Amino acid sequence: MADRVGQCGPAATAPLNEETQSNLLSADFLALPQAELHLHLEGSLQPETVCALAAKYGVPASTQEVLQRYGYRDFLGFIETFKWVSSLLRAPEDFALALRHLGEQLLAQNVVYAEITLSVGVMLLRHQSVEKNFEAIVAAAESFHNRGLQLHFVFDAVRQFGADAAMQVVEAAERCASKSIVAFGIGGDELSIPAKEFRRVYEKAGAIGLHKLIHAGEVGGPEEIRQAIELLGAERIGHGIAAIRDPSLMDLLAERRIPLEICPQSNIRTGALAKQLGLPTAQIQQHPLPQLFRHGIPVALSTDDPAMFHTDLRSEYESARRMGLQEAELKRITKMSFEHAFVSEKEKATLQGARRATSALS
């Protein structure tokens, strides 16, 4: 194991996106506490962590090999990499390790609140104990609370696994019976199974007190977003960039105050943005975030799978600045992330109170 970990080397620990760290954002903005609402635990595994887990299980993997896997150019390539990386999370202590590393990354980005998505559907597929995995994750998360980082969790199903498998994810959340589980969501291939097939699953999730999320309008069209809202009662939409293609849907999102969890670098690296624009490739300046935000649609800027997309929250805000959003607009977006978090109004007031206090001192 020591030899294999050695192959990971210090190169894997280099900060991501160093070339984007610039003076695009003021010191005042960088000092603001942040919230992040669309963040996958499995997608946060840095190359050195992947190498260590691979060594633990005797899977050949060097830093270079991991970086090559993290170099996909389309959505299917990303899915294959996600499957491979998540296959190395095999025991509760592996999930705890991932959570501890992610917590440190969030603290370094001034994040004080995060909702972390857990691929529970994958755990069940691999016949893992969701309860034991989650117990280890929660224990690891507790150490960050006293350091100013509050973590909540989303139990996520995989769409292409079907409605019965998704129901098992909801049932696992019910068994875990933790107040830190705030929502149920569905990711994966949004074009694989119609939204209507999951109605009963979302009804059950709502009945046990979970908020409702779904990935929609990432590679699928505007109709996927509309069905998620009208058929499933989705309260926030993961990605949702296809809304730019349907003005009436944009009006609906703005009127009902349904937030889009926007992840710009993810949309570039999976090819999702290029697909929505009907282009072979897309640049960050072509992202519809400014148009969606200025239309009055709530937005929560997020990293999605930060290690796999070579990004962090600061880089995402810098990308938004490159799109033409002004810093005052970015500050409004940071506030929206707190406003649309799945916490009580009292907790929102506490979190935003810390934010306002920091703003007053800056």
Kindly state the helix (H) or strand (E) to which residue 101 belongs, with its residue range.
Answer: helix 92-108
Q: What is the dihedral of CA 271, 88, 129, 143, to 10 degrees?
A: -90
Residue 39: how many CB atoms within 10 A of its CB? 25
Nearest to 187 by CA among 228, 231, 230: 228
CA-to-CA distance for 214 and 225, rounded, in angstroms?
9
Contact 147, 107 (CB under 8 A): yes
Residues 6+ apart with CB under 8 A from 128: 90
The total number of residues shown for the chain amounts to: 362
The DSSP 8-state label assigned to residue 192 in this structure reads S
Nearest to 212 by CA among 272, 268, 143, 258: 258
Catalytic residues, which ones?
Answer: 218
CA-to-CA distance for 187 and 70, rounded, in angstroms?
19
> Where would I find the H helices in 146-246?
163-176, 199-207, 222-232
Residue whose tokens read 């409702």: 212
CA-to-CA distance for 195 and 14, rounded, in angstroms?
41
* Residue 136 tokens, joined: 């280890």
Residues 6+ apart with CB under 8 A from 35: 111, 112, 113, 114, 300, 334, 337, 338, 341, 351
Contact 274, 283 (CB under 8 A): no
Contact 196, 128 (CB under 8 A): no
Contact 48, 12 (CB under 8 A): yes
